[in-house]
């Protein structure tokens, strides 16, 4: 079940997203992923879009120097951030914050899946941590 892991990059969708990021030298994938979540507005947000949006928001936090947890699941993004050293704009940070907030607002498939899982509080803590790092 996809709710067993709570880390931003601990799911298949985010792992696939990271492999796409490796092939980019700019923020186009990050911006597209954030926009895909925000373009849903109040319609139903699919889990895969939410997971890609969280991966993008986490990338923005790391570009700001707010690394958070670093482990094997973050190795690709960490290497990419260190290689390209792109400074995110205030607008990109604002979009990232909006994405994290939208994912936690119904209707959101990922929110539903996490609420049905055993680690909802831990997942919520991961998103709260991401939000705080984006705000710093």
Encode pLDDT of 37-61 as tens digits: 999 999 999 999 999 999 999 999 9
> What digits encode the pLDDT tens for the residues 5-35?
789 999 999 999 999 999 999 999 999 999 9
Q: Which pLDDT belongs to residue 121?
A: 97
Instruction: Read off the pLDDT of residues 102-136 as tens digits, 9 standing for 90 and up.
Output: 999 999 999 999 999 999 999 999 999 999 999 99
How high is the pLDDT of residue 1? Answer: 37
Nearest Cα neighbor of 134 from 4, 16, 6, 8 is 8
**59-109, pLDDT tens digit by residue?**
999 999 999 999 999 999 999 999 999 999 999 999 999 999 999 999 999
Residue 45, classed as helix, strand or coil, is strand
Q: Rounded to two decimals, what is the model's pTM? A: 0.96
Residue 55, CB-side half-sphere exposure with 13 Å CA sphere: 31
Q: Do 62 and 78 meet the contact criterion of CB atoms below 8 Å apart?
A: yes
């Amino acid at each position: 079940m996809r709710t067993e892991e709570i880390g931003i990059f601990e799911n298949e969708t985010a792992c696939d997203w990271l492999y796409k990021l490796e092939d980019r030298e700019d923020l186009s994938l990050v911006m597209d992923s954030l926009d895909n979540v925000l373009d849903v507005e109040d319609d139903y947000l699919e889990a895969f879009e939410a997971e890609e949006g969280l991966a993008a928001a986490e990338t923005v936090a790391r570009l700001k120097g707010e690394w958070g947890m670093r482990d094997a699941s973050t190795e690709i993004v960490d290497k990419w951030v260190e290689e390209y050293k792109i400074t995110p704009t205030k607008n990109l940070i604002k979009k990232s914050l909006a994405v994290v907030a939208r994912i936690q607002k119904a209707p959101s498939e990922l929110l539903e899946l996490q609420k049905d899982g055993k680690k909802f509080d831990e997942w919520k803590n991961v998103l709260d941590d991401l939000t705080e790092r984006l705000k710093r």
